[in-house]
Structure formats: structure tokens, C-alpha cells
Amino acid sequence: MRWMWIDRVTELDEGKRLVAIKNVSLAEEHLHDHFATSGDTPALPVMPMSLIIEGMAQSAGILVGHAQAFREKVILAKVSKATLDCEAPAGITIRYTATVERMDASGASTKGIVEYVDPANGHSEEVGAIDLMFANIDHNRAGVVFPEHNFVFGEQFKTLLRTSGVEIPS
């Protein structure tokens, strides 16, 4: 994974619930493209909703992968529901809360809540819900064989977990 859309895991109840945060910063290049100055319209740097959904997918994917000790290659199979009230402006912290709804050998389904937290005053506001389905691709019905190494949960994810104080199952 080249791009990380979460900065830290703040809570992990193994196999049940994960809370992660993303600090939206003007230092991120993608903010300047969404939305750039145009004519008389000033710039409005925001994190696009598609990347907010990806942040939830990474959070929930870590929850599902961690529950299986990262033995399975867990990939996003379906966005069942995604409702977001607004993009995330620079300076805000996004809090993702992912909860496992169902998990078995073929994959998992999760429910997610997205909140914006204002670091200046700690005020939080729920701004959306994202429900996802994941597949364990080594258990695919097509019989496709994937490489042995877990290319889904690479070193970036392991570094994120270690720096968050999360034990990585061996």
C-alpha cells in the first residue's frame, strides 16, 4: 500500500472494534487540488469523500486482518453503504470507528462511523456512516492462486500498528 489514509490506531478490541484517526493537514498535496483557486473563487482545500471512504476501508481492513493474525489477504469487496455529510477541511481530525458485524473464513462485513474532531476544542461531530464487505482472496471461488506473501498488509501497515502500540500477531 503506497498511501495511508489513517495516521494512528487509538483503540483496538481484537476482532470487534477499531478506532483510528487521520489528521487532515495543508501539507498534503491532494488538498490543494480539491478545490483550487478558480477565477474569483478562493481555494477550498478539503479531503475528498472518496479518500475518507478509503480511510475507513483501511481502518476496517486492519481490524479484520488483525483478527486473523494477518494470515489472510483481506481486500475490500464492496462498499455497502457510504453516507457523508461533507468533505473534511484542513485542520480537522477524522475519527474512524469500525465494528465487525460478521466474520468467517470467506471474509467479513463491517459497520463504520466517521466523525470530525476539532483539535482546538475537542468537539466532535458524526458526519457519516460507511458499511463495508471484505473478502479473504485466498478463499476465492474462481480458484485463483495469489502469491504466498501477504501483499495487502505490508510494512507500512505494520509500522503504523507498531507506532500506535498495537501488537502485531506473529
pLDDT for 2: 65
- pTM for this model (two decimals): 0.92
Catalytic one among 34, 66, 123, 139? 34
Rounded CA-CA distance 24/27 in Å is 9
Placement of cell 501483499 in the chain: 151
pLDDT tens-place string over residues 32-72: 777 777 888 887 888 999 999 999 999 999 999 999 999 88
The reply to whether 34 belongs to the active site is yes
Backbone angles phi, psi at 20, to 5 degrees: -135, 160
Distances (CA, A) of 35 to 38, 81, 128: 9, 25, 21
What is the SS3 assignment for 67-93?
HCCCCCCEEEEEEEEEEECCCEECCCE
pLDDT tens-place string over residues 83-119: 999 989 999 999 999 999 999 999 999 999 999 999 8
Domains of the chain: 8-150 (3.10.129.10)
Residue 121 neighbours by CB under 8 Å, 6+ apart: none
